[in-house]
Amino acid sequence: MSLTAFKGNPSNTVGVELELQLVNLQNFNLTMEAKDFLRRLSEIKIPGEIKPEITQSMIEINSSIHKSHDSLLKELLTIKNTLTEQAAKTHIGICGGGAHPFQQWNAQRIFPTERFTNTSEQYGYLAKQFTVFGQHIHIGCQNGDDALYLCHAMARYIPQFIALSAASPFHQSVDTVFDCSRLTVISAFPLSGTPPWILAWDEFDDYFCNLSDLGIVKSIKDFYWDIRPKPEYGTIELRICDTPLTVHKAAELAAYAQLLVIWLLDNKINLSRDIYLTYAVNRFRAARFGLEALFIDPIERVQITLAKDIIQTCNQLRNYAVQFNCENILDQICKAVSNKENGAKWLREHHTKFQSLNDTVRCQTELWKAGT
Amino acid sequence: MNFLPHFPLSLNAIALFGLTLILGIVSGEIVSRSKILPKISGYLMVGFLVGPSVFNIVTPSLFAYTRLFVDISLGLILFDLGRHLNFTWLRHDRGIFITSFSESLLTFFFVFVALYLFHFPLLHAAIAATIAVSTSPAVVMMIANDLSSEGPVTRRTLILTSLNNLFALILFTILLPFTQTDTSHHYLLMHTSYRLFGSIVFGILMFILTICIAKFIGKRKENQFVLFVAVVIFAIGFSNAINLSSMLALFTLGVAARNFDRNHVLIEIDFGLIAKLFFILLFVITGIHLQLKGLWQATGVVCTFIIVRTLAKSCGVHLFAKMSNLTKSQTWLICLALTPMSGLAIGMSHLVIDFNSNLGYQLMTLVATSVAMLNVIGPIATQLAFIKADEAILKINFKRGRNEFNGLQRKSLEYSGRRA
């Protein structure tokens, strides 16, 4: 079976998918309400799309396609407000964050669709452990070759996105000492990691056909790579981020990725396979130490903290930001990075203040609702 | 050989207590394997079989010493029930309160009229109708817990149970002093007000005490667990000592803990295993008290009571279900889940006897028999409702998954073979 043709996008539009937690407002544990909540949402008009996810305490919201940060944020706020209002009526909470701090994976239930049931049958307990929450950012590309170029060119910046979005310091009731514990869960899947070193779309199609004939994959969705091309949308899909604690942060990350893609396409950097020499180490360090991680640049042969690296990248993107009228986004990113602020830090601070993970989730739901 | 035991052996209190739990847990397990009956049916069945109605091995008087455990069980249940009454939810979904009010009102009204037509005195009919309003929180909570049931039907069943118990408790507290026939109206009014408002105030005072202690001991789960149990036990004993309704006081304590803890001092405590222990004991003892004799003596009135109660609850829920945006199936399942009536009803009818021992026989027969019948039907109905709502734990067929996975592996081996 071959891949669907790459549906080219003339401009580098942006769209996001956010996986959200549904929580019980009595004990702030995850609650199995997705089916009923999705039914309620299906009866009202909401922009974008709302979908089920692998377990019944998760939902996924998809934005429409946007040219700018402002329109994306506006739509995300509308979706968030509608969701919050509907959730209040049925007395459940919604929040961001990459992992629920104290849910027990074995208590989760698979959402009854054919795809999720198959995933559960294939992967056993890993499917339930997959109750983690990510933000996926789609950026439009003109053709499949560009998509593959971007998948590899963006590998250099993957640790930045991990550190900026990190919001899963607690997992299964424990402070993991990681800023992002979600990635460890994803790494357990055999089809996780990075795309193969293929730069031409025809070759990539052959690669997919091979795996498909071998019975390993049925669609591009079966690859749980950190970044992957999405031919039916004509995008690359950056899948590395934790769901941030607010929609503002989600829109900010999307805008940053969009600027980076535009810069990479304009500058067409020379790709070197050497980028993958340090990929796994950098990915691990970003998840473990967040913005304070020491990033190893295998091309330039230098080590630099991720915070500094992000600030340098922001400076590099500044002209493009002026062009797209989103300079303030880069300012916000630089400010947060200078203060070493990300979701993980916020969650740890609240846990220290309340001495309770239940209260930490309560604060998460309040933050999501307030949305600032 | 004086050191050898003398026969026949008489079981002491501790041995009997242990035996009750052993028999309860074994029969619960046996019954649950039927996949139709819930474990509760097993606990009740053991109590019923060893009780005076069948083999007469254990009489209720032998179990007098367990009264303390029963009271603690009921106390914990009422406290937990109060914690399910969330004002924020009621404010956001006004349909819940209206639905509960309509199902409680219709149940009271129709049961009252039906019993009046059966020539029950007005007060008797009113007390029986009040008792009919409440759904058994113990059954609903235990089944939700046993099945790990979670979802919209389970949560709504719990909050509706909480509300109809609140209405029943208030009505019952108001009606109870009227059972004393030789007293003046002024005295009755004073007595009713004392019991009603005194219990609520006492519950709130207990809440304030709990908050103060919780601030001191901090948010450690084990500390707060002991604190909750201790406060519940103290509240039971003290409210009885000052002639207040311990049931209403504990319910108020639960409601206050859920809604007035503005600084989030209290943590969410799950009574878990300890509650299970008390619940098994409670249901076995309920089983011992079950009487079916009324079914032969007053078949008509018992069946009418049950049918009218069930229909009234269903009508009440259906009337306003749309306000809460419930589907038809969810509405039916909530009606089904609200069927059980047990422990509290027995507790209430005992209180009536305590207040006026001449009043009770006809009333007790009706309540005890209806409770017995609804104890057979109710838990099955609630379990069925939670399973049909797809909120009880799902058992995934991993065998099928393995076969499919093996299929894929075979396919990949065949492919390698072809290449070779």
Specify the higher pLDDT residue, B349 or B36.
B36
Q: What is the largest CA-CA distance in chain A?
A: 56
Q: Which residues of A touch B391 (CB under 8 A)?
A: 32
Please indicate, yes or no, if residue B273 is contained in any of the structural domains. yes
Give the range among B34-38, B210-214, B234-238 with minimum mean pLDDT. Answer: B34-38
Q: Which of B160, B262, B391, B404 is the mutation pick for testing A, counting most A CBs within 10 A?
A: B391
Q: What would the DSSP string read from start to end of A106-173? A: GG--B--SHHHHHHHHHHTHHHHHT-B-EEEEEEE-SSHHHHHHHHHHGGGGHHHHHHHH--B-EETT
Say if A10 is an interface residue toward chain B (CB within 8 Å).
no
Residue to mutate among B99, B156, B264, B386, with most A CBs inside 10 A, is: B264
For B276-304, how does the pLDDT look when each residue is reduced to its tens digit (9 = 90+)? 787 888 888 877 777 777 667 778 888 89
d(CA B368, CA B353): 13
Residue B56 domain flag: no
Q: Kindly state whether residue B46 falls inside one of the protein's structural domains.
A: no
Closest CA to B174 of B231, B235, B129: B129
Interchain contact A355–B (C-beta under 8 A): yes
Provide the pLDDT for residue B344: 60
Interface of chain B toward chain A, CB-CB under 8 angstroms: 83-84, 86, 88-89, 92-93, 148, 150-152, 155, 218-219, 258, 264, 267-268, 270, 324-325, 327, 330, 390-391, 393-394, 396-398, 400-402, 404-405, 408, 411-412, 415
Give me the mean pLDDT over the B310-338 stretch: 94
Q: Tell me the mean pLDDT in the region B315-320.
A: 94
Mutate to test the interface with A, among B396, B399, B403, B419 (most CBs of A within 10 A): B396
pLDDT of residue B394: 44
Q: Choose among B93, B268, B411: nearest Cβ to A215.
A: B411
More confident residue, B74 or A35: A35
Spell out the domains of chain A, with CATH numbers in brackets.
Answer: 14-370 (3.30.590.20)
Q: How near does any CA of chain B get to the CA of A254, in Å?
A: 33
Q: Considering chain B, what is the average pLDDT of its residues?
A: 82
Residue of A nearest to B88 (CA): A91
- B344 inside domain: yes
Which residue, B215, B164, B170, is CA-closest to B192? B170
* Count of alpha carbons within 13 angstroms of residue B406, beta-carbon side: 6
Under 8 Å between Cβ of A140 and A13: yes
Among B264, B398, B411, select the one facing A354 at the smallest CB separation: B264
Q: How many domains does chain B have?
A: 1
Contact predicate B272/B329, CB 8 Å: no
Q: Confirm if A144 and A204 have CB atoms less than 8 A apart.
A: yes
Secondary structure (3-state) at A201? helix
**Tokens (6 digits) for B349:** 């009818």
Domain for residue B356, yes or no? Answer: yes
Tokens of A224: 């749980």
A196 preceded by a cis bond (ω within 30 of 0): no
DSSP state, residue B90: H
Q: Does a structural domain hold residue B17?
A: no
Q: How confident is the model at residue B400 (pLDDT cuts 50, 70, 90)?
A: very low
Do residues B143 and B149 touch, judged by C-beta distance below 8 A? yes
Single out the residue of B224, B261, B247 nearest to residue B162, CA to CA.
Answer: B247
Contact indicator for B102, B320 with CB cutoff of 8 Å: yes
Instruction: Give me the percent of chain B exceeding a pLDDT of 90.
Output: 35
The whole-angstrom separation of Cα A291 and Cα A308 is 9
Question: Which of these ranges, A122-136, B36-50, B188-202, has the smallest mean pLDDT?
Answer: B36-50
- Which residue in chain A is spatially nearest to B80 when comparing CA positions? A26
Give pLDDT tens digits for B199-215: 999 999 999 999 999 99
For position B335, which CATH number holds?
A: 1.20.1530.20
Task: Give the domain extent around B107.
Answer: 66-392
The minimum CA-CA distance between A126 and chain B, rounded to whole Å, is 13
B352 within some domain: yes
Q: How many beta carbons lie within 10 A of that of residue A160, not counting itself?
A: 28
Judge whether A185 and A134 are in contact, CB under 8 Å: no
Q: Looking at the complex, does the CB of residue A266 fall below 8 Å from at least one CB of chain B?
A: no
Provide ipTM, 2 decimals.
0.85
The verdict on a CB contact (< 8 Å) between A91 and B155 is yes
Candidates B152, B394, B412; nearest CB to A33: B152
CA distance B251 to A285: 52
Q: B402 falls in which pLDDT band (50, 70, 90)?
A: very low
Residue B310 has pLDDT above 90, yes or no: yes
Question: Block means of pLDDT (10 residues each) for chain A, length 372 residues?
Answer: 82 94 94 94 92 94 94 96 94 96 91 89 89 96 94 96 97 94 90 93 93 91 93 94 96 96 92 92 96 93 95 94 90 95 96 92 95 68
Residues A192-211 have pLDDT tens digits of: 999 999 999 999 999 999 99
Distance from CA of B111 to the nearest CA of A (A): 31
A109 contact residues in B (CB cutoff 8 A)? 393-394
Rounded to a whole number, what is the distance in Å from the CA of A100 to chain B's nearest CA? 17
Q: Quick check: A90 and B391 CB within 8 A?
A: no
- B219 or A31: which carries more pLDDT confidence? A31
Tally the C-alpha atoms within 13 A of residue B236's C-alpha that lie toward its C-beta: 18
Q: Which of residues 104-133 of A touch B (CB under 8 A)?
A: 107, 109-110, 112, 117-118, 120-122, 124
Alpha-carbon distances, residue B220 vs A254, A355, B214 (angstroms): 40, 9, 9
Give the residue from A33, A35, A36 with the most B CB atoms within 10 Å of its CB, the best one to mutate: A36
Longest pairwise C-alpha distance within chain B: 102
Quickly tell me which residue has 């295998």 as its tokens. A298
Nearest to B86 among A91, A214, A355 (CB): A91
Cβ-Cβ pairs closer than 8 A, A with B, add up to 87
The three-state secondary structure class of A18 is strand
> Which residue of B86, B93, B390 is in closest CB contact with A89?
B93
Is B163 inside a domain boundary? Answer: yes
Are A338 and A307 a contacting pair, CB within 8 Å?
yes
